[in-house]
Structure 1
Amino acid sequence: MTNTPPTETTRTRRQLLAAGTSFGIATTAGCLGILGDSKPIKEVTYKPFQMRISLRSDAEISKLSFIAPDGTSLGTKKVASGQTTVDIPFGRGNGLDYKPLSPGKYKIVVEKDGKQKQSKTVKLTRSATIQDVAIKYDREKVMEKRLAEGLTFAVKNTGILPIRLTKFRALKGLFPQKKTGIGLTRKNSENFSQTRREIIVAGQTARFKTGYSPLTLPTDRVKGNASKKEASKRLCTGKPRAAAFELKGTNGFREQHKFNITYTGKAVKVGSVPSVEYGCQNASIRTNNSQSNS
């Protein structure tokens, strides 16, 4: 049987069908692109104490809601016609009652007259690193009474959310004291309000010093007659010992730092009965095989 070449009419119909199919795909893809670009939320940016939601100027929405990871609504804001930004705070409360949000996946939901237009998930992280741990001395210029008494260190916020510190805890190799409060003093604290001294925002490195003496032995930790000789025998041995401290904050924040500490020099007596403490003239810290202070 001889195959008959397609007529001009047949070829034209096939070409039109093929062209129509291609056009349909291209049109569908184009529509999807337009729909994606026309979503009300353009972008989310982060600031020290809040995040900013940027909206399309032609977005038709009337309300924006912020939803916690457990589904709880953390607040709703009305959006006026033509409004292009909405700010959402990273914490609740004011002053000493301020508490940053917990880390997790939150949702931003925008609506128009009760109908949801878009739901966007944002992951808010919380993390920190402890750096530059060094010895803090008392009476450093008077060698006979020089005392290695505390620590200085820096805390860098490597997450998105602010961190509010609530407690410094001396762990092994250090000596907890019976003190109240956070146990820390922020260096250059004159640059911060009283209610913001324990808060570290994203990207910020804050420097602290211990507010008491975690490197000294209280009287009740020294055997016998609480003599300098006994303290020297137990503490100022020149042998490295494992040490650690912990920082605690609101909403379950916790960060530990481990290092080796060596107490050297003569024993020093500080204070008077009943609050006598004993320490050493010198101490050095080694972290990650590098000498950080001596």
Structure 2
Amino acid sequence: MKFGKYKRWEISGHILFSILAFLAIVPFVLLIISSFSDEQAVVRNGYSFFPEKLSLEAYKYIFNQWEVIGRGYMVTIIVTCVGTFVGTSISALLGWTLSKKDLPGRNTLLFIVAFTMMFSGGLTAQYIIYTQIFHIKNTIFGLLLPNLLMNGYFVMTFRNYFEHTIPSSLLEAAKIDGASEIKTFFKIVLPLSGPIIITIALPLALLYWNDWTNGMYYLSLDSKLQSIQTILNNINENIKFLQSNNLGSAGSQLSTAELPSTTIRMAMAVVGILPIMCVFPFLQKWLARGITEGAVKE
């Protein structure tokens, strides 16, 4: 009797989560189909899973303007890789330090980290500090630094993982063998921390990859450091942004009237999210494991 009851709950759970997964996938399918749709058909009939007419004009436009769009893609890749590596490293090092129960001033440091999770210094103060003191305006640091500073959630997640998951007997054995803190961290702790590293690195990479606000705040419109998401945002605001930056060149076969302003947004979105969609499924198992093992434990 109990077996049948649990079986019903299991089937119901599978049905529910299958529906939720379907609803999550549907917008991406519509996005991809719309990017291959004819501009006039989309304007006339709206978005559809069964477009009236297919067209590659949006992707032809992207290919013709690859000098700017491709450069934005490379900037995004570089910023994402560097920011993810450095940001994860900073959080891991601080998390490892705070996991030491005999650390002098540990409670004070924990309070400071937790305080940043509840309060922010404010956008105006942040902008003034970055532009007037650090002078990151129109530099690559304008895309890196604002997201690079300490994230309290990431630090506390690392700290909980190190404190509750890494065997204390293993650390004591390394200490008896004469291993320094640095050697213990890099030779013992990090090799055992794959799940939590993926758990932190993935959302941090998503943060950098999808970021467009820092480009809007700290880069001018003619900057060659525009990321792919910033370019996409500018297109969404005004499709003529591309033309004002010499994109209506002789290499383009589209006039202003023929520019696929609707479908090109869809195509640019596909180009922007495609790498993340390809990588995420392979890291999902590690992500789920890291979230479980890095959770707060009593």
TM above 0.5, yes or no, is no
More strand by share: 1
TM-score normalized by the length of structure 1: 0.24
Does 1 or 2 have the higher relative contact order (CA < 8 Å, sep 6+)?
A: 2
The structure having more radius of gyration, on CA atoms, is 1
